[in-house]
């Protein structure tokens, strides 16, 4: 059985750059709401004792967005291979990116912690759907999203606790 030709090195570089760019554009859209509203609103909220310091969020999210971009690239590069339909997996990837950016606006931008909690539950489902659809194309790509799902699980609990406390 012959396999489809591998993408060229230049094509791989373009796909990797575009995948990382997509992830970090979502990060930037969310960051606009987060950075501009972090103080004093967030500082004034009652938070559970297991809330991490603000300095943890930037490095964690940077790593997660990088892993997301690499995962999308691994799936995208399989597009056109024998039997590899990547439209649905990459569609789920875009959905979860939109929900990811929207959460920052709901929580930080518009100070709607309760609504943000409901939305982050949708985000969690979209991430899981992305992982399951990625797994059909690339087990490695799916596994790269597991830390993201775990972090959003924790963030969901934190968001829910903040919404309840305030």
Q: What is the DSSP letter of 137?
A: T
Mean pLDDT split into 10-residue runs, the chain, 166 residues:
60 92 97 79 94 94 98 91 82 98 95 98 98 97 98 98 98
3-state secondary structure of 134: helix
Quote the pLDDT of residue 2: 45
SS (H, E, C) 12-58: HHHHHHHHHHHHHHHHHHHHHHHHHHHHHHHCCCCCCCCCCCHHHHH
CATH topology for the 9-165 domain: Ferritin (1.20.1260)
Quote the pLDDT of residue 12: 87
In contact, 129 and 140? CB cutoff 8 Å: no
* Backbone φ and ψ of 77, nearest 5°: -65, -20
Question: What is the separation of C-alpha 14 from the centre of its chain, rounded to a whole number of angstroms?
Answer: 21
Burial of 10 (0-12, 13-18, 19+ CB in 10 A): exposed
pTM greater than 0.85 (yes/no): yes
**Ranges of each domain in the chain:** 9-165
3-state secondary structure of 149: helix
Q: Which two tokens stand for residue 78?
A: 């399989």
In contact, 73 and 19? CB cutoff 8 Å: yes
Quote the pLDDT of residue 8: 78
Quote the pLDDT of residue 5: 52
Q: Which two tokens stand for residue 161?
A: 């606790």
In contact, 48 and 158? CB cutoff 8 Å: yes
Quote the pLDDT of residue 40: 84
Quote the pLDDT of residue 137: 95
């Amino acid at each position: 059985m012959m396999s489809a030709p591998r993408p060229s090195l230049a094509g791989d570089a373009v796909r990797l750059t575009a995948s990382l760019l997509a992830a970090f554009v979502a990060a930037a859209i969310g960051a606009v709401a987060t950075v501009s509203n972090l103080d004093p609103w967030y500082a004034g909220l009652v938070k559970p004792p297991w809330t991490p310091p603000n300095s943890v969020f930037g490095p964690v999210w940077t790593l997660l967005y990088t892993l997301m971009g690499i995962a999308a690239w691994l799936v995208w590069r399989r597009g056109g291979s024998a039997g590899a339909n990547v439209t649905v997996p990459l569609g789920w990837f875009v959905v979860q990116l939109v929900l990811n950016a929207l959460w920052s606006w709901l929580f930080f931008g518009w100070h709607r912690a309760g609504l943000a909690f409901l939305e982050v539950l949708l985000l969690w489902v979209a991430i899981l759907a992305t992982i399951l659809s990625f797994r059909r194309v690339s087990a490695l790509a799916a596994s790269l999203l597991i830390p993201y799902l775990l972090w959003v699980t924790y963030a969901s609990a934190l968001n829910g606790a903040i919404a309840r406390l305030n």
